[in-house]
Amino acid sequence: MDPTPSRPPASLRAGASRQGAALASVLGGFAAFYAGLPEGRRADFLFGNPQEPAPLRYVEAIRTAALPDDPERYAYTQSLPEAVRAVAAGLRERFGVAFEPEDVAMTNGNFAGLSVVLRAIADPGDAVVYVSPPWFFYEPLIVAAGMRPVRVAAPPPSFDLDVDAVAAALGPEVRAVIVNSPHNPTGRIYPAGALDDLAAALEEASARQDRPVYLISDEAYDRIVFDGQAFPTPVARYPFSFLLYTYAKTLLSPGTRLGYVAMPPTMPGREGLREALLLAQIATGWAYPSSIFQHAVPELERMDAGIERLQARRDLVCGALRDQGYELLVPEGTFYVMVRSPDPDDRAFCEGLAREDVWVLPGSMFEAPGWFRISLTGNDDMVAFALPRFEAAIRGFRAGR
């Protein structure tokens, strides 16, 4: 007799049905795209995965942090004092906001950070607004927390933050708004004026509802900013804010699972929220990063993403694709380029590229049909291999119309 159940128990199926459906819609989209396509990826621009060896300085920081210089090096760990001090100091330096170490909670990446914040501030049945096109997992994580996702479009081709649309969505059940800038997948950095208007809309909604509408600022890419721009953080503009950060993007190390949640000093009721975050981190499944990586945070805070190299790759890719006839949005930040698919069926166009061993992500997989996304984390050899194949693809499509 096979002791492995063929299905989860009914109690789990009932509790997980909505979140399972939301997650399945994301994972099923990936599976359907990969099905029938060749294995191996000569030019992989799908995700923000490293395509080159990790920098020696990063490896050395992790190696040094792993050395057991005291008996508690590998003990149970929540947020290490040395880690939160380094984070708070870095935030003060970058944004001129007096973040305190006590208001920083170390997390194992932004998956955990968002899950923890949602559970700390909202109740089942509350609604959470997010901007579309989004990071794939906003909706599944909102649903998993028992909340209702509310989608607000940032319309193409500019993908600007539509503050009026966000304000119109702030009904009495809305407890939080997620804003991601620099924005994945479009590379937009929302300007200070738009963020000021958003803060005013949130203040008005909070007063109207007589309870705060929280702003969750997903700043995974806030150190990947091009052309010498200054990044305006939404957290400096609105008191009821949480800043979410992951080192995965800046250091091109998504397997590290290291990040944090930070509250600004303007946040009312910080003491109670500290406890709520702590309880949520435990209840979510000990959503703290490894002690090794936390010990490395003071050194990791001093590292950067190699902006000059990324910007040069951005300029090369965007310039070449434009010359070939593609319409695209030049990213202001992140390491993604949004390109309009010549074929309105973006998935079919991307499947054609994949058969030529050039892998890009169809926009229909992240609520942007008719577009595709290129990750600039593909290395220079991949770019050189891919560019003539991009040109052949657009010529082939136009010739076949």
**For residues 54 and 48, what is the distance between their CA atoms, to the nearest angstrom?**
13
Whether residues 321 and 291 fall in one domain: no
Query: What DSSP string runs through 3-61?
Result: -S-SS--HHHHHHHHHHHHHHHHHHHHHHHHHTTSPS--SEE-SSS---SPPPHHHHHH
**For residues 314 and 38, what is the distance between their CA atoms, to the nearest angstrom?**
27
Looking at 276, 300, 324, the residue that finishes a domain is 300
**For residues 287 and 279, what is the distance between their CA atoms, to the nearest angstrom?**
10
Domain-embedded: residue 2: no
Confidence band (pLDDT; 50, 70, 90) for 189? Answer: very high
Domain coverage including residue 167: 68-300
Q: Residue 249: which CATH number? A: 3.40.640.10
Q: Is the pLDDT of residue 153 over 50?
A: yes
Q: Is the pLDDT of residue 1 over 90?
A: no
- Omega into 155 within 30° of 0, i.e. cis? no
Element (H, E) at 127: strand 127-132
**For residues 348 and 372, what is the distance between their CA atoms, to the nearest angstrom?**
11
Looking at 300, 325, 359, the residue that finishes a domain is 300
Task: Give the pLDDT of residue 76.
Answer: 86
SS (H, E, C) 54-94: CCHHHHHHHHHHHCCCCCCCCCCCCCCHHHHHHHHHHHHHH
What average pLDDT does the segment 120-135 reach?
A: 96
Q: Which is higher by pLDDT, 14 or 135?
A: 135
Q: Is the pLDDT of residue 122 over 50?
A: yes
**For residues 257 and 108, what is the distance between their CA atoms, to the nearest angstrom?**
5
Confidence band (pLDDT; 50, 70, 90) for 32? Answer: confident
How distant is the alpha carbon of residue 185 from its chain centre?
Answer: 9
CB atoms within 10 A of CB 390: 23
Q: Residue 29: which CATH number? A: 3.90.1150.10
Whether residues 89 and 22 fall in one domain: no
Task: Give the pLDDT of residue 23.
Answer: 62
Closest CA to 277 of 137, 121, 139, 128: 121
Whether residues 267 and 167 fall in one domain: yes
* Predicted TM-score of the model (pTM): 0.91
Amino acid letter for position 33: F
Whether residues 173 and 276 fall in one domain: yes
Task: Give the pLDDT of residue 54.
Answer: 86
Whether residues 289 and 143 fall in one domain: yes
Number of domains in the chain: 2
Whether residues 264 and 144 fall in one domain: yes
Within 8 A by CB and 6+ apart from 226, the residues are: 307, 310, 311, 314, 331, 332, 333
| Tens of pLDDT, residues 93-117 | 999 999 999 999 999 999 999 999 9
Task: Give the pLDDT of residue 10.
Answer: 37
What sign does the dihedral 277-153-349-376 (CA atoms) show? negative
Q: Is the pLDDT of residue 6 over 50?
A: no
